[in-house]
């Protein structure tokens, strides 16, 4: 076998080393002369392995803390200690003991199943409450809450806003403390009639198969609402009296923007409590999942903005037997292709929630390649490192979507008859706007993209009320862009302040508590700042607090998205009970905290 240490002739053939022959162990001048070559060879091998571990993709990082120059991975994304109640420790122990019983599990699951049976579907463009009969499906759900949670309705003040919006107030003994606001929504997206037979169990059956509760809303977001209500009811049953006021706010049309529900609840809360009145706000959001060999929870400290850009083309009609070179539909199709071929390019931007999230991944994910860790941790200081970090991170479609502004053409209309030229064609382009961007930057970009192509079709262009082509100039048709509903990216909650630290410590405590008797009890959860790709009802509560978080403590390690917004939506009973444990621990921790 050829040795790396054997010197070779110029032809590449190994020279015979007489000093290594059997029986010849006498030191020689040749052997001493060869020592630098041996040492050099060892150095080359060491350097090879170091280079391989640092720069070769797929090589996993070490599990011990790493130092990258002046950076230590454990200081980049420090983790809070597990936080359990102290003053309320007895109550916390009693609830944990109760939650482990079969009787409580059965009651909690039944409550959720019964809630799922009520089809509180929200459709786009519903008329105001009182004018559209479809809102009336909410009343059975409100009645269900009143029946299932008698203590809550006895001891908490209930304010109904715009008929079906619900504000529950559990007054604390110290009115000088800012309240905790817990939010959720009890409406659901409609079930497509053609998909009903694809469900394992009927979509509004609320069926429990011994492991999962099935049905529309079981995960998004009736589990959140029922989880909060079950927590409050249980604490009342056990005699808990909060020091800090707790407020619950439940909307009924979040799936269509929340304008009729939270859009009225937010102003009502602002009028009653005033600006900056809440210690912290927690609404629905993603739970915890596994990435690169570690489990992470990512409470959303912000959320992306959104805008629907409507593209309308109008051209002369006529008989299809004498067609122009391009119909309005053909022009629209070309514009859509042009938009998709020039989609916004995501860029990792320092100090944004998405950037902080990737820093935490690099700091704590044991199986992330060492080269990626190094690049991510230095991305804010080196353009080269930033490019390497982006190339690695954007292989994950979810991270890529969270980092930048996205676009999706979701709706298209055009034509009324097969033998009539379409006089109108339209499309809606949905954008989710990166936290470092804005509505104006997004819609202006669309306008500039379509302007040049519209000129090729001899279309005059009007964008958001502004004429981009000269008035009165001859044109074959018109192209108009409008943006009737817009939402700027949300303010960013500080992740180094007490409320986020309390939330992080609570998440770590619940994760550990829920697994005290399971095989994976030694697993650790890392909490990092996150970002919501969608929008929540918190959009109407920005004035109430600087500390708004979107987090649901759902187990996405085993459940993924659980069929949210699609066929076979469900939630495991274990995950639902852990959600209740989370809300309980959060309430008890906040109650005794200095915020």
Q: Which residue in the list 221, 233, 254, 303 is annotated as catalytic?
A: 254
- Tell me if 565 is assigned to a ligand binding site: yes
Tell me whether residue 185 is annotated as binding: yes
Q: How many CB atoms neighbour CB 516 within 10 A?
A: 9
User: Is there a binding annotation on residue 220?
Assistant: yes
Q: Other CB atoms closer than 10 Å to residue 519's CB: what's the count?
A: 7
Residue 187 annotated in active site: yes
Contact 278, 247 (CB under 8 A): yes
DSSP secondary structure string, 164-226?
Answer: TEEEEEE--S-TTSPPEEEEEE--BPPPPGGGGGGSSS-TTS--B-SSEEESTTTTTTHHHHH
List 187, 390, 446, 569, catalytic entry: 187
Per the annotation, the verdict on 546 as an active-site residue is no
> Coil, helix or strand for 433?
strand
φ/ψ bin of 206: left (φ > 0), alpha (ψ from -120 to 50), beta (otherwise): left
Q: Give helix 89-99 / helix 573-591 axis angle, nearest 10°.
A: 170
Length of the chain, in residues: 595
Among residues 450, 358, 435, the alpha carbon closest in space to that of 398 is found at 358
- Bridge partners (DSSP) of residue 310 are 428, 482
Q: Environment class of residue 108 by beta-carbon count within 10 Å: exposed (0-12), middle (13-18) or buried (19+)? A: buried
Cα separations (Å) of 132 from 36, 118, 123?
88, 18, 11
Provide long-range contacts, Cβ within 8 A and 24+ apart, for 191-194.
Answer: 191/119, 191/121, 191/216
Q: Which residues are annotated as a binding site for Zn(2+)?
A: 185, 220, 255, 283, 565
Q: Which residues are annotated as a binding site?
A: 185, 220, 255, 283, 565
Catalytic residues: 187, 254
């Amino acid at each position: 076998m050829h040795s790396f240490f054997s010197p070779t002739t110029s032809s590449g053939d190994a020279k015979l080393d007489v000093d290594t022959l059997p029986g010849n162990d006498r030191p020689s001048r040749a052997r001493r002369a060869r020592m630098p070559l041996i040492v050099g060879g060892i150095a080359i091998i060491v350097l090879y392995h170091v280079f391989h571990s640092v720069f070769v993709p797929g090589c996993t990082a070490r599990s011990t803390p790493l130092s990258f120059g002046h950076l230590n991975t454990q200081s980049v994304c420090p983790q809070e200690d597990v936080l359990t109640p102290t003053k309320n420790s007895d109550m916390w122990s009693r609830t944990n003991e109760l939650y482990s019983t079969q009787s409580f599990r059965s009651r909690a699951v039944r409550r959720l199943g019964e809630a799922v049976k009520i089809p509180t579907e929200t459709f786009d463009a519903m008329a105001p409450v009182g004018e559209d009969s479809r809102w009336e499906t909410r009343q059975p759900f409100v009645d269900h809450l009143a029946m299932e949670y008698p203590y809550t309705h006895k001891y908490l003040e209930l304010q109904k806003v715009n008929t079906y919006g619900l504000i529950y107030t559990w007054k604390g003994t110290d009115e000088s403390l800012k309240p905790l606001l817990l939010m959720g929504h009890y409406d659901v997206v409609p079930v497509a009639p053609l998909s009903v037979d694809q469900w394992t169990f009927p979509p509004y059956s609320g069926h429990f198969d011994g492991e999962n509760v099935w049905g529309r809303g079981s995960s998004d977001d009736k589990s959140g609402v029922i989880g909060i209500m079950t927590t409050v009811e249980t604490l009342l049953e056990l005699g808990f009296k909060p020091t800090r006021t707790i407020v619950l706010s439940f909307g009924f049309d979040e799936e269509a923007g929340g304008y009729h529900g939270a859009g009225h609840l937010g102003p009502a809360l602002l009028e009653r409590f005033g600006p900056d009145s809440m210690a912290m706000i927690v609404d629905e959001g993603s739970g915890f999942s596994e990435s690169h060999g570690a489990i992470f929870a990512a409470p959303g400290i912000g959320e992306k903005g959104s805008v629907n850009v409507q593209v309308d083309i109008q051209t002369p009609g006529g008989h299809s037997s004498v067609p122009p070179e391009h119909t309005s539909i053909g022009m629209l199709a070309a514009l859509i292709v042009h938009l998709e071929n020039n989609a916004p390019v995501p860029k990792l931007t320092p100090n944004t929630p998405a950037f902080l999230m990737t820093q935490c991944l690099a700091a704590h994910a044991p199986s992330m390649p060492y080269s990626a860790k190094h690049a991510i941790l230095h991305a804010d200081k080196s353009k080269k490192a930033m490019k390497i970090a982006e190339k690695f991170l954007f292989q994950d479609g979810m991270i890529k979507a969270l980092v930048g502004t996205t676009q999706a053409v979701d709706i298209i209309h055009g034509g009324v008859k097969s033998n009539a030229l379409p006089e109108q064609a339209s499309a809606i382009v949905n954008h989710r706007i990166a936290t470092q961007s804005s509505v104006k930057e997004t819609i202006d970009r669309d306008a500039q993209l379509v302007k040049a192509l519209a000129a090729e079709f001899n279309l005059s262009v009007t964008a958001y009320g502004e004429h981009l082509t000269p008035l009165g100039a001859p044109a074959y048709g018109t192209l108009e862009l409008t943006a009737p509903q817009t939402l700027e990216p949300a303010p960013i909650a500080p992740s180094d302040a007490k409320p986020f630290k309390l939330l992080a410590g609570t998440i770590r405590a619940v994760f550990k508590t829920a697994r005290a008797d399971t095989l994976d009890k030694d697993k650790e959860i890392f909490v990092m700042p996150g970002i919501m790709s969608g929008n929540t009802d918190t959009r109407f509560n920005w004035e109430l607090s600087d500390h708004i978080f979107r987090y649901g403590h759902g187990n996405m390690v085993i459940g993924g998205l659980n069929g949210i917004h699609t066929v076979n939506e469900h939630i495991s009973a274990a995950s639902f009970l852990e959600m209740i444990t989370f809300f309980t621990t959060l309430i008890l921790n906040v109650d005794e905290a200095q915020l």
